[in-house]
Amino acid sequence: MEQLHLAAAAQATGVITLPGSKSISNRTLLLAALADGVTVIRDLLDSDDTARMLEALQSLGVQLENIAENAWRVSGCDGNFPNKQADLFLGNAGTAFRPLTAALAFSNGDYHLHGVPRMHERPIADLVSALRLAGAKVDYLANEGYPPLQISPATLDVSQPIQIRGDVSSQFLTALLMALPLTGQAATIEVVGELISKPYIEITLNLMQRFGVKVERDGWQRFHIPAATRYQSPGEIYVEGDASSASYFIAAGIVAGDVTVQGVGQHSIQGDILFAEAAKLMGGRISYGDNHVRAEKTGALKAIDLDCNHIPDAAMTLAVMAVFAQGTTTLRNIASWRVKETDRIAAMATELRKVGASVTESEDAIEITPPAQLIENAVIDTYDDHRMAMCFSLISLAGVPITINDPKCVAKTFPEYFKVFASIAR
Ligand SMILES: O=C(O)C1=C[C@@H](OP(=O)(O)O)[C@@H](O)[C@H](O)C1
Ligand SMILES: C=C(OP(=O)(O)O)C(=O)O
Protein backbone atom coordinates (compact mmCIF):
# COMPACT_ATOMS: atom_id res chain seq x y z
CA MET A 1 0.00 0.00 0.00
CA GLU A 2 1.16 3.50 -0.72
CA GLN A 3 2.41 5.49 2.27
CA LEU A 4 3.26 9.14 2.77
CA HIS A 5 5.90 10.05 5.36
CA LEU A 6 5.39 13.54 6.71
CA ALA A 7 8.45 15.10 8.32
CA ALA A 8 8.25 16.88 11.66
CA ALA A 9 7.38 20.54 11.13
CA ALA A 10 7.93 23.47 13.46
CA GLN A 11 5.41 25.86 12.02
CA ALA A 12 2.71 26.48 9.42
CA THR A 13 2.67 29.74 7.50
CA GLY A 14 1.38 30.94 4.19
CA VAL A 15 -1.60 31.64 1.97
CA ILE A 16 -3.47 28.86 0.19
CA THR A 17 -6.31 28.79 -2.34
CA LEU A 18 -9.10 26.33 -1.62
CA PRO A 19 -10.60 23.92 -4.13
CA GLY A 20 -14.34 24.40 -4.80
CA SER A 21 -16.94 23.28 -2.30
CA LYS A 22 -18.07 19.69 -2.79
CA SER A 23 -21.55 20.43 -1.42
CA ILE A 24 -22.06 23.44 -3.69
CA SER A 25 -20.44 21.78 -6.74
CA ASN A 26 -22.63 18.70 -6.80
CA ARG A 27 -25.84 20.60 -6.03
CA THR A 28 -25.04 23.17 -8.72
CA LEU A 29 -24.30 20.49 -11.31
CA LEU A 30 -27.61 18.75 -10.67
CA LEU A 31 -29.66 21.95 -10.60
CA ALA A 32 -27.96 23.22 -13.78
CA ALA A 33 -28.72 19.88 -15.46
CA LEU A 34 -32.39 20.14 -14.45
CA ALA A 35 -32.79 23.81 -15.31
CA ASP A 36 -34.18 25.49 -18.37
CA GLY A 37 -31.25 27.13 -20.18
CA VAL A 38 -27.46 26.99 -20.25
CA THR A 39 -25.42 27.47 -17.06
CA VAL A 40 -21.70 28.18 -16.90
CA ILE A 41 -20.27 26.91 -13.61
CA ARG A 42 -16.87 28.29 -12.56
CA ASP A 43 -14.46 27.11 -9.85
CA LEU A 44 -16.15 23.71 -9.77
CA LEU A 45 -14.41 21.17 -7.54
CA ASP A 46 -12.36 18.66 -9.55
CA SER A 47 -12.39 15.49 -7.43
CA ASP A 48 -13.77 11.95 -7.28
CA ASP A 49 -17.16 13.05 -5.89
CA THR A 50 -17.76 15.64 -8.61
CA ALA A 51 -16.44 13.25 -11.29
CA ARG A 52 -19.11 10.74 -10.24
CA MET A 53 -21.83 13.42 -10.58
CA LEU A 54 -20.52 14.59 -13.97
CA GLU A 55 -20.37 11.01 -15.30
CA ALA A 56 -23.90 10.31 -14.05
CA LEU A 57 -25.32 13.42 -15.70
CA GLN A 58 -23.53 12.49 -18.92
CA SER A 59 -25.09 9.00 -18.77
CA LEU A 60 -28.48 10.65 -18.33
CA GLY A 61 -27.97 12.51 -21.60
CA VAL A 62 -27.14 15.95 -20.21
CA GLN A 63 -24.74 17.96 -22.38
CA LEU A 64 -21.70 19.04 -20.39
CA GLU A 65 -18.71 20.86 -21.79
CA ASN A 66 -15.45 21.54 -19.97
CA ILE A 67 -14.75 25.06 -21.30
CA ALA A 68 -11.74 26.03 -19.12
CA GLU A 69 -9.97 24.79 -16.00
CA ASN A 70 -12.72 23.98 -13.47
CA ALA A 71 -15.34 25.64 -15.68
CA TRP A 72 -18.24 23.75 -17.24
CA ARG A 73 -21.06 24.68 -19.57
CA VAL A 74 -24.18 22.67 -18.71
CA SER A 75 -27.11 22.60 -21.14
CA GLY A 76 -30.12 22.09 -18.89
CA CYS A 77 -32.81 19.55 -19.80
CA ASP A 78 -35.67 21.56 -18.27
CA GLY A 79 -36.67 18.91 -15.77
CA ASN A 80 -36.60 15.96 -18.15
CA PHE A 81 -33.44 13.84 -18.48
CA PRO A 82 -33.10 12.74 -22.14
CA ASN A 83 -32.09 9.16 -21.28
CA LYS A 84 -34.84 7.09 -19.69
CA GLN A 85 -32.51 4.19 -18.87
CA ALA A 86 -29.11 4.34 -17.20
CA ASP A 87 -26.72 2.42 -15.00
CA LEU A 88 -25.01 4.84 -12.63
CA PHE A 89 -21.90 4.16 -10.56
CA LEU A 90 -21.70 6.83 -7.88
CA GLY A 91 -18.61 5.75 -5.92
CA ASN A 92 -18.91 6.89 -2.31
CA ALA A 93 -20.38 10.29 -3.09
CA GLY A 94 -23.34 10.94 -0.78
CA THR A 95 -23.95 14.29 -2.48
CA ALA A 96 -24.36 12.45 -5.80
CA PHE A 97 -26.15 9.30 -4.60
CA ARG A 98 -28.91 10.80 -2.48
CA PRO A 99 -29.94 13.76 -4.70
CA LEU A 100 -29.82 11.62 -7.88
CA THR A 101 -31.96 8.93 -6.25
CA ALA A 102 -34.70 11.48 -5.58
CA ALA A 103 -34.41 13.25 -8.94
CA LEU A 104 -34.53 9.96 -10.85
CA ALA A 105 -37.43 8.63 -8.78
CA PHE A 106 -39.40 11.55 -10.27
CA SER A 107 -38.04 11.10 -13.81
CA ASN A 108 -40.22 8.33 -15.23
CA GLY A 109 -37.39 6.00 -16.25
CA ASP A 110 -35.49 2.83 -15.38
CA TYR A 111 -32.34 3.55 -13.43
CA HIS A 112 -29.83 1.41 -11.56
CA LEU A 113 -27.80 3.24 -8.90
CA HIS A 114 -24.82 1.69 -7.19
CA GLY A 115 -21.48 2.57 -5.60
CA VAL A 116 -18.42 1.26 -3.81
CA PRO A 117 -18.97 -1.40 -1.11
CA ARG A 118 -19.01 1.24 1.64
CA MET A 119 -21.79 3.14 -0.17
CA HIS A 120 -23.82 -0.08 0.05
CA GLU A 121 -23.46 0.11 3.85
CA ARG A 122 -24.59 3.73 4.10
CA PRO A 123 -28.30 4.02 4.96
CA ILE A 124 -30.86 5.41 2.51
CA ALA A 125 -34.13 4.00 3.90
CA ASP A 126 -35.50 7.31 5.15
CA LEU A 127 -35.18 8.84 1.68
CA VAL A 128 -36.63 5.80 -0.10
CA SER A 129 -39.62 5.72 2.31
CA ALA A 130 -40.35 9.40 1.60
CA LEU A 131 -40.10 8.87 -2.16
CA ARG A 132 -42.49 5.92 -1.92
CA LEU A 133 -44.99 8.16 -0.06
CA ALA A 134 -44.95 10.32 -3.20
CA GLY A 135 -45.74 7.24 -5.32
CA ALA A 136 -42.21 6.60 -6.61
CA LYS A 137 -41.05 3.04 -7.33
CA VAL A 138 -37.66 2.47 -5.72
CA ASP A 139 -36.46 -1.07 -4.94
CA TYR A 140 -33.53 -2.37 -2.90
CA LEU A 141 -31.39 -4.76 -4.93
CA ALA A 142 -29.40 -6.23 -2.04
CA ASN A 143 -30.07 -5.27 1.58
CA GLU A 144 -33.30 -3.59 2.68
CA GLY A 145 -32.55 0.06 3.47
CA TYR A 146 -29.27 0.30 1.54
CA PRO A 147 -28.01 0.78 -2.03
CA PRO A 148 -27.85 -0.56 -4.72
CA LEU A 149 -31.24 0.67 -5.91
CA GLN A 150 -33.47 0.11 -8.90
CA ILE A 151 -35.84 2.92 -9.87
CA SER A 152 -38.79 2.30 -12.22
CA PRO A 153 -41.46 4.52 -13.81
CA ALA A 154 -44.41 5.28 -11.53
CA THR A 155 -47.42 7.55 -11.18
CA LEU A 156 -46.59 10.27 -8.71
CA ASP A 157 -48.98 11.88 -6.25
CA VAL A 158 -47.67 14.62 -3.99
CA SER A 159 -51.07 16.01 -2.98
CA GLN A 160 -50.53 14.85 0.62
CA PRO A 161 -47.65 16.10 2.81
CA ILE A 162 -44.57 13.90 2.47
CA GLN A 163 -43.00 12.88 5.78
CA ILE A 164 -39.26 12.39 5.95
CA ARG A 165 -36.83 11.63 8.77
CA GLY A 166 -33.64 13.67 8.95
CA ASP A 167 -31.92 12.21 12.01
CA VAL A 168 -29.51 9.94 10.10
CA SER A 169 -28.52 12.33 7.30
CA SER A 170 -29.70 15.76 6.17
CA GLN A 171 -28.92 14.68 2.60
CA PHE A 172 -32.31 12.91 2.45
CA LEU A 173 -34.19 16.18 2.97
CA THR A 174 -31.82 17.96 0.57
CA ALA A 175 -32.52 15.30 -2.06
CA LEU A 176 -36.31 15.51 -1.67
CA LEU A 177 -36.29 19.31 -1.73
CA MET A 178 -34.24 19.47 -4.92
CA ALA A 179 -36.31 16.79 -6.69
CA LEU A 180 -39.87 17.90 -5.89
CA PRO A 181 -40.02 20.75 -8.45
CA LEU A 182 -39.71 18.00 -11.12
CA THR A 183 -43.27 16.88 -10.33
CA GLY A 184 -44.62 20.29 -11.38
CA GLN A 185 -47.11 20.01 -8.50
CA ALA A 186 -47.29 21.90 -5.23
CA ALA A 187 -45.76 19.77 -2.48
CA THR A 188 -45.27 19.92 1.28
CA ILE A 189 -42.54 18.16 3.23
CA GLU A 190 -42.90 17.42 6.95
CA VAL A 191 -39.72 16.59 8.83
CA VAL A 192 -40.35 13.86 11.39
CA GLY A 193 -38.17 13.93 14.50
CA GLU A 194 -34.86 15.70 14.84
CA LEU A 195 -33.02 17.07 11.79
CA ILE A 196 -29.22 16.82 11.89
CA SER A 197 -26.56 18.76 9.98
CA LYS A 198 -29.00 21.67 9.49
CA PRO A 199 -26.65 24.14 7.77
CA TYR A 200 -26.51 21.86 4.71
CA ILE A 201 -30.22 22.49 4.21
CA GLU A 202 -29.48 26.21 4.01
CA ILE A 203 -26.99 25.50 1.18
CA THR A 204 -29.72 23.55 -0.63
CA LEU A 205 -32.37 26.26 -0.23
CA ASN A 206 -29.93 28.99 -1.24
CA LEU A 207 -28.94 27.22 -4.45
CA MET A 208 -32.54 26.28 -5.32
CA GLN A 209 -33.40 29.94 -5.02
CA ARG A 210 -30.53 30.94 -7.30
CA PHE A 211 -32.06 28.55 -9.83
CA GLY A 212 -35.44 30.26 -9.45
CA VAL A 213 -37.25 28.02 -6.94
CA LYS A 214 -38.17 29.69 -3.68
CA VAL A 215 -39.15 27.20 -0.98
CA GLU A 216 -41.55 28.43 1.71
CA ARG A 217 -40.67 27.13 5.14
CA ASP A 218 -41.79 26.91 8.72
CA GLY A 219 -38.47 26.60 10.56
CA TRP A 220 -37.03 23.12 10.17
CA GLN A 221 -40.42 21.34 10.36
CA ARG A 222 -42.26 22.10 7.14
CA PHE A 223 -41.16 23.06 3.67
CA HIS A 224 -43.51 23.95 0.84
CA ILE A 225 -42.74 23.97 -2.87
CA PRO A 226 -45.31 25.99 -4.83
CA ALA A 227 -47.04 24.53 -7.91
CA ALA A 228 -45.58 24.94 -11.41
CA THR A 229 -42.08 25.83 -10.25
CA ARG A 230 -39.22 25.06 -12.65
CA TYR A 231 -35.52 25.53 -12.36
CA GLN A 232 -34.22 28.41 -14.49
CA SER A 233 -30.54 28.82 -15.26
CA PRO A 234 -28.97 31.82 -13.49
CA GLY A 235 -26.56 32.10 -16.46
CA GLU A 236 -23.24 31.96 -14.65
CA ILE A 237 -22.49 30.70 -11.18
CA TYR A 238 -19.28 30.67 -9.12
CA VAL A 239 -18.59 27.90 -6.59
CA GLU A 240 -17.14 29.05 -3.25
CA GLY A 241 -14.01 27.41 -1.89
CA ASP A 242 -14.70 24.38 0.31
CA ALA A 243 -15.16 25.40 3.95
CA SER A 244 -14.61 21.81 5.20
CA SER A 245 -11.30 21.66 3.31
CA ALA A 246 -10.48 25.04 4.85
CA SER A 247 -10.66 23.48 8.32
CA TYR A 248 -7.26 21.73 8.00
CA PHE A 249 -5.49 24.98 7.15
CA ILE A 250 -7.35 27.07 9.72
CA ALA A 251 -6.34 24.43 12.28
CA ALA A 252 -2.74 24.56 11.02
CA GLY A 253 -2.65 28.32 11.56
CA ILE A 254 -4.06 28.05 15.07
CA VAL A 255 -1.80 25.23 16.25
CA ALA A 256 1.40 26.27 14.49
CA GLY A 257 1.61 29.73 12.99
CA ASP A 258 -0.29 31.98 10.60
CA VAL A 259 -2.29 30.64 7.65
CA THR A 260 -4.76 32.37 5.32
CA VAL A 261 -7.25 30.41 3.25
CA GLN A 262 -8.63 32.06 0.14
CA GLY A 263 -11.95 31.16 -1.46
CA VAL A 264 -14.36 31.44 1.48
CA GLY A 265 -15.11 34.37 3.70
CA GLN A 266 -17.50 35.87 6.18
CA HIS A 267 -20.55 35.61 3.86
CA SER A 268 -20.06 31.93 2.98
CA ILE A 269 -23.25 29.90 2.55
CA GLN A 270 -21.45 26.84 3.96
CA GLY A 271 -22.13 25.98 7.59
CA ASP A 272 -18.58 24.65 7.98
CA ILE A 273 -17.35 28.25 7.99
CA LEU A 274 -18.38 28.03 11.68
CA PHE A 275 -15.48 25.65 12.22
CA ALA A 276 -13.31 28.77 12.54
CA GLU A 277 -15.34 29.91 15.56
CA ALA A 278 -15.18 26.44 17.13
CA ALA A 279 -11.42 26.29 16.60
CA LYS A 280 -11.06 29.75 18.13
CA LEU A 281 -12.60 28.42 21.35
CA MET A 282 -9.36 26.43 21.75
CA GLY A 283 -7.28 29.59 21.32
CA GLY A 284 -5.75 31.59 18.50
CA ARG A 285 -7.01 34.48 16.45
CA ILE A 286 -9.42 34.34 13.52
CA SER A 287 -10.10 37.18 11.12
CA TYR A 288 -12.37 37.21 8.09
CA GLY A 289 -12.54 39.03 4.79
CA ASP A 290 -15.08 38.70 2.00
CA ASN A 291 -13.03 35.94 0.40
CA HIS A 292 -10.56 34.77 3.02
CA VAL A 293 -10.14 33.52 6.57
CA ARG A 294 -6.89 34.03 8.48
CA ALA A 295 -5.94 31.87 11.46
CA GLU A 296 -3.07 32.72 13.80
CA LYS A 297 -1.56 31.04 16.80
CA THR A 298 -1.51 33.21 19.92
CA GLY A 299 -0.39 30.84 22.68
CA ALA A 300 -1.23 27.53 24.35
CA LEU A 301 -4.49 25.85 23.31
CA LYS A 302 -7.13 24.68 25.78
CA ALA A 303 -9.61 21.83 25.57
CA ILE A 304 -13.26 22.45 24.60
CA ASP A 305 -16.61 20.74 25.16
CA LEU A 306 -18.78 21.31 22.10
CA ASP A 307 -21.97 20.14 20.37
CA CYS A 308 -20.72 19.60 16.81
CA ASN A 309 -23.96 18.57 15.11
CA HIS A 310 -23.88 21.64 12.85
CA ILE A 311 -20.31 20.94 11.58
CA PRO A 312 -20.05 17.13 11.33
CA ASP A 313 -17.23 17.08 8.74
CA ALA A 314 -15.03 19.85 10.15
CA ALA A 315 -15.51 18.48 13.67
CA MET A 316 -13.05 15.72 12.74
CA THR A 317 -10.42 18.45 12.49
CA LEU A 318 -11.26 19.54 16.05
CA ALA A 319 -10.65 15.97 17.21
CA VAL A 320 -7.06 16.13 15.96
CA MET A 321 -6.59 19.69 17.27
CA ALA A 322 -7.51 18.28 20.70
CA VAL A 323 -4.10 16.61 20.74
CA PHE A 324 -2.54 20.11 20.81
CA ALA A 325 -4.77 21.40 23.67
CA GLN A 326 -4.41 21.19 27.43
CA GLY A 327 -7.16 19.11 29.04
CA THR A 328 -9.87 16.79 27.78
CA THR A 329 -11.82 17.81 24.68
CA THR A 330 -15.35 16.44 24.25
CA LEU A 331 -17.10 16.57 20.88
CA ARG A 332 -20.81 15.76 21.20
CA ASN A 333 -23.82 14.94 19.04
CA ILE A 334 -21.82 13.38 16.21
CA ALA A 335 -23.62 10.04 15.80
CA SER A 336 -23.68 10.60 12.01
CA TRP A 337 -19.89 10.00 11.99
CA ARG A 338 -20.71 6.30 12.26
CA VAL A 339 -22.43 6.15 8.85
CA LYS A 340 -20.09 8.21 6.71
CA GLU A 341 -16.99 7.14 4.72
CA THR A 342 -16.17 4.81 7.60
CA ASP A 343 -17.28 4.59 11.23
CA ARG A 344 -15.46 7.83 11.97
CA ILE A 345 -15.86 7.69 15.76
CA ALA A 346 -14.20 4.27 15.90
CA ALA A 347 -11.56 5.18 13.31
CA MET A 348 -10.69 8.47 15.02
CA ALA A 349 -10.40 6.77 18.43
CA THR A 350 -8.15 3.99 17.10
CA GLU A 351 -5.80 6.32 15.23
CA LEU A 352 -5.57 9.00 17.94
CA ARG A 353 -4.50 6.26 20.36
CA LYS A 354 -1.59 5.48 17.99
CA VAL A 355 -0.13 8.93 18.70
CA GLY A 356 -0.59 8.38 22.44
CA ALA A 357 -3.91 10.14 23.16
CA SER A 358 -6.40 8.70 25.65
CA VAL A 359 -9.74 8.41 23.88
CA THR A 360 -13.19 7.43 25.09
CA GLU A 361 -15.95 6.91 22.57
CA SER A 362 -19.69 6.65 23.06
CA GLU A 363 -22.47 6.14 20.52
CA ASP A 364 -22.55 9.84 19.62
CA ALA A 365 -19.49 11.50 21.20
CA ILE A 366 -15.74 11.33 21.55
CA GLU A 367 -13.47 12.46 24.40
CA ILE A 368 -9.79 13.09 23.76
CA THR A 369 -6.96 13.72 26.23
CA PRO A 370 -3.51 14.37 24.79
CA PRO A 371 -0.46 12.45 26.01
CA ALA A 372 2.38 14.19 27.86
CA GLN A 373 4.49 13.47 24.80
CA LEU A 374 3.23 12.47 21.35
CA ILE A 375 4.44 9.16 19.94
CA GLU A 376 6.70 9.67 16.93
CA ASN A 377 6.43 7.86 13.59
CA ALA A 378 2.91 6.54 14.14
CA VAL A 379 1.50 4.84 11.03
CA ILE A 380 -2.04 6.05 10.50
CA ASP A 381 -4.69 3.98 8.73
CA THR A 382 -7.16 6.10 6.76
CA TYR A 383 -10.07 3.68 6.07
CA ASP A 384 -10.61 5.09 2.56
CA ASP A 385 -11.72 8.27 4.32
CA HIS A 386 -10.28 11.48 2.87
CA ARG A 387 -10.88 13.34 6.12
CA MET A 388 -8.91 10.83 8.20
CA ALA A 389 -5.92 11.39 5.90
CA MET A 390 -6.22 15.17 5.87
CA CYS A 391 -6.80 15.53 9.64
CA PHE A 392 -3.84 13.40 10.66
CA SER A 393 -1.39 15.40 8.54
CA LEU A 394 -1.79 18.08 11.25
CA ILE A 395 0.03 15.90 13.77
CA SER A 396 3.30 16.64 11.94
CA LEU A 397 2.89 20.29 13.04
CA ALA A 398 3.44 19.15 16.63
CA GLY A 399 7.03 18.44 15.62
CA VAL A 400 6.64 14.69 15.25
CA PRO A 401 6.98 12.71 12.02
CA ILE A 402 3.94 10.67 11.01
CA THR A 403 3.07 8.23 8.21
CA ILE A 404 -0.27 8.34 6.40
CA ASN A 405 -1.39 5.11 4.74
CA ASP A 406 -3.18 5.31 1.39
CA PRO A 407 -2.83 9.10 1.11
CA LYS A 408 -4.53 9.15 -2.31
CA CYS A 409 -7.92 8.67 -0.62
CA VAL A 410 -7.98 12.48 -0.34
CA ALA A 411 -9.08 12.45 -4.01
CA LYS A 412 -12.70 12.22 -2.83
CA THR A 413 -12.75 15.96 -2.23
CA PHE A 414 -9.19 17.38 -2.40
CA PRO A 415 -6.78 15.52 -4.75
CA GLU A 416 -3.99 18.11 -4.27
CA TYR A 417 -4.26 18.18 -0.48
CA PHE A 418 -0.76 16.98 0.44
CA LYS A 419 0.89 19.28 -2.08
CA VAL A 420 -0.96 22.26 -0.61
CA PHE A 421 -0.19 21.11 2.95
CA ALA A 422 3.51 20.82 2.09
CA SER A 423 3.44 24.46 0.92
CA ILE A 424 2.58 25.73 4.44
CA ALA A 425 4.38 23.23 6.72
CA ARG A 426 7.94 24.26 7.57
O1 LIG B 1 -25.46 17.91 2.05
C2 LIG B 1 -24.22 17.87 2.01
O3 LIG B 1 -23.57 18.44 1.11
C4 LIG B 1 -23.50 17.17 3.09
C5 LIG B 1 -24.15 16.88 4.27
C6 LIG B 1 -23.48 16.25 5.41
O7 LIG B 1 -23.97 14.94 5.54
P8 LIG B 1 -25.11 14.51 6.66
O9 LIG B 1 -26.31 15.31 6.43
O10 LIG B 1 -25.29 13.06 6.34
O11 LIG B 1 -24.47 14.77 8.00
C12 LIG B 1 -21.95 16.20 5.25
O13 LIG B 1 -21.39 15.30 6.16
C14 LIG B 1 -21.56 15.81 3.85
O15 LIG B 1 -20.17 15.77 3.69
C16 LIG B 1 -22.10 16.80 2.85
C1 LIG C 1 -19.56 12.68 4.70
C2 LIG C 1 -18.90 13.07 3.62
O3 LIG C 1 -19.22 12.77 2.34
P4 LIG C 1 -20.60 12.40 1.60
O5 LIG C 1 -20.92 13.60 0.76
O6 LIG C 1 -20.28 11.20 0.78
O7 LIG C 1 -21.66 12.15 2.62
C8 LIG C 1 -17.66 13.89 3.76
O9 LIG C 1 -17.21 14.46 2.73
O10 LIG C 1 -17.11 14.02 4.87
Q: Pocket around ligand 2: residues whose beta carbon is below 6 Å from it?
A: 92-95, 313, 340-341, 387, 413
Q: Is the ipTM of this complex over 0.95?
A: yes
pLDDT in tens, 119-162: 999 999 999 999 999 999 999 999 999 999 999 999 999 999 99
- Count CB neighbours of 218 within 10 A: 11
The rounded distance, in Å, linking the Cα atoms of 60 and 222 is 31
313 is in an annotated binding site: yes
The per-residue b/e assignment along 223-261, b for 16 or more CB within 10 angstroms, e otherwise, is bebeeebbbbbbeebebbbbbbbbbbbbbbbbbbbbbbb
Q: Answer yes or no: is 242 a known binding residue.
A: no
- Substitution candidate for ligand 1 out of 24, 200, 201, 345 with most atoms within 8 A of CB: 200
pLDDT in single tens digits along all 426 residues of the chain = 899 999 999 999 999 999 999 999 999 999 999 999 999 999 999 999 999 999 999 999 999 999 999 999 999 999 999 999 999 999 999 999 999 999 999 999 999 999 999 999 999 999 999 999 999 999 999 999 999 999 999 999 999 999 999 999 999 999 999 999 999 999 999 999 999 999 999 999 999 999 999 999 999 999 999 998 999 999 999 999 999 999 999 999 999 999 999 999 999 999 999 999 999 999 999 999 999 999 999 999 999 999 999 999 999 999 999 999 999 999 999 999 999 999 999 999 999 999 999 999 999 999 999 999 999 999 999 999 999 999 999 999 999 999 999 999 999 999 999 999 999 999
Task: For ligand 2, atom 2, name the residue with the nearest CA.
Answer: 340
| Closest C-alpha to ligand 2, atom 6 | 94
Q: Whose CA is nearest to atom 10 of ligand 2?
A: 313
- 154 CA from centroid of ligand 1 (Å): 28
Count Cβ atoms below 10 Å from residue 214 Cβ, excluding itself. Answer: 11
| Degrees to nearest 5, angle at CA 350 with 347 and 356 | 140
Active site residues: 313
CA max distance for the chain: 64
- The amino acid present at 252, given as its one-letter code, is A
The confidence score (pLDDT) of residue 228 equals 86
Side-chain-side CA neighbours of 286 within 13 Å: the count stands at 24
Best residue among 26, 341, 410 to mutate for probing ligand 2, ranked by most atoms within 8 Å of CB:
341
Q: What is the pLDDT of residues 108-119, one digit of tens each?
A: 999 999 999 999
Do 100 and 90 touch, CB atoms closer than 8 A? yes
